[in-house]
Amino acid sequence: MTCTILALCGSLRASSSNRALLETAMSLQPAGLKIELYDGQAALPHFNPDLETAGVLPNPVLPSEVIDLRQRVRQADGLLIACPEYVHCLPGSFKNLLDWLVGCPDFPGKPVALFQATERHEYVPAMLRDVLTTMSAEILDVACFMLPATTNQIDQTWIEKQPALCDEMGRKLEAFAHRIAPKAP
């Protein structure tokens, strides 16, 4: 059986190293995993709890972009997240995405693997873990991976030219698949 993973990239940059890392993970096509990249982050409205209180406000409507995000999360067996650090913090647009997921009933308990595109970040790795844990995600350490890069000038071609790194990434994804695969009764 194939499990579906939703990949979330914290960067909106066109030549994002984090997206390159996620796209490389997708290209590895690990057995048992189908990885899809979420690309709706830039279109999400600013988080506002008032928009969630259906039935309370006049004309309450959850924005369609948020409904789509939550459906994608509901359909996913796990999340693969790669997120950069901006001014010692999560990028605002990615924190906005996470804030919209706080009210997503399918988020608590969702298995998450964290992929990091550089070893330079000092604050965001721990911060992201804290935020996700507070949201009751299940972070799978066995499936987390860090690219030993110190620049953001990396792309999929650069990563794919390093077979040892791709092998390690593949093993992490296999471990992810193993952890989330439904167990036989």
Report long-range pairs for 108-111 (Cβ below 8 Å, ≥24 apart). Answer: 108/135, 108/136, 108/137, 109/136, 109/137, 109/138, 110/73, 110/76, 110/78, 110/79, 110/137, 110/138, 111/77, 111/78, 111/79, 111/137, 111/138, 111/140, 111/176, 111/179, 111/180
Instruction: By CB under 6 A, name the one of 5, 17, 41, 116 that touches ligand FMN.
Output: 17
Reduced to 3 states (helix: H, G, I; strand: E, B; else coil), residue 7 is: strand
Residues in contact with ligand FMN, shown as a per-residue x/- string from 87 to 106 under the rule CB under 6 A? xx------------------
Nearer to ligand FMN, 73 or 117 (CB): 117
86 binds ligand FMN (CB under 6 A): yes
77 binds ligand FMN (CB under 6 A): no
Nearer to ligand FMN, 8 or 177 (CB): 8
Neighbours of 75 (CB within 10 A): 11
Nearer to ligand FMN, 152 or 162 (CB): 152
Nearest to 105 by CA among 76, 70, 131: 70
Instruction: By CB under 6 A, name the one of 84, 132, 139, 175 that touches ligand FMN.
Output: 84
23 binds ligand FMN (CB under 6 A): no
Nearer to ligand FMN, 16 or 24 (CB): 16
Interaction site with ligand FMN (CB under 6 A): 11, 13, 16-18, 84-88, 117-118, 120-121, 152
